[in-house]
Amino acid sequence: MVEIVEQELHKLYTLVYVLNKDKTKILLGLKKRGFGKGRWNGFGGKVEKGETIEQGALRELKEESNLDAKNLEKKGVIYFKFEGDPVIMDVHLYTTTDVSGDLIETDEMLPKWYNVSDLPYSSMWPDDPIWHPWFFEGKIFTVKFFFKADLETITGYKHKFASSVSELDAINLDS
Ligand SMILES: COc1nc(N)nc2c1ncn2[C@H]1C[C@H](O)[C@@H](COP(=O)(O)OP(=O)(O)OP(=O)(O)O)O1
């Protein structure tokens, strides 16, 4: 009998959540094209060759909102695995309350501030309500979500918390 093992390929992505100073409001963008079109999300995208993950996060925030962030704080890593797709998205999550520049609508995102107590979950990714409580409690975490190929149905997830950002890399979700 031949065992078929699906090889996983990891691709690096970023996701930045901009909060106001007292962390009661969050800036989301309505994705206007491509992956996640029609959903409200933070700002981010693929990390490009030659840049660090943090540089990628700053670039994507600027490209999608025109904002510059000063202090990006890492909050976790979110892995997404879609049925039948060997690519795992490794999404590095950052937050900041310190941005400058004029917020604008871009080709990719229509920005809007939301109260954190009233987020548009019906038009957001279905994983968001699962990890948002951890994020808003200030936890550092890693989580892997398993989706059906419909990009809508979550079949499971596993997660672990870290006591510091430096611990994140060492976390093995399979142990
Ligand atoms: C599957 O569930 C997801 N949930 C959440 N909250 N965020 C997700 C999910 N899947 C992807 N994301 C995030 C990760 C990135 O921030 C974006 C996707 O990046 P995109 O494909 O738009 O990357 P770009 O480089 O901007 O793409 P272009 O080539 O179109 O410029 O969504």
Domain membership flag for residue 141: yes
CATH of the domain at 88: 3.90.79.10
Atom of ligand 1 nearest to the CA of 124: 6
Domain membership flag for residue 138: yes
For 35-44, the pLDDT digits (tens) are 999 999 999 9
DSSP 72: -
Instruction: State if pTM tops 0.90.
Output: yes
Who's near 172: CB < 8 A, 6+ residues apart? Answer: none
Lining ligand 1 with CB less than 6 A are: 13-15, 34-36, 41, 44-46, 60, 80, 89, 91, 125, 127-128
Atom of ligand 1 nearest to the CA of 16: 16
CB 111 within 8 A of CB 65: yes
For 67-112, the pLDDT digits (tens) are 999 999 999 999 999 999 999 999 999 999 999 999 999 999 999 9
Domain hosting residue 66, numbered range: 9-164
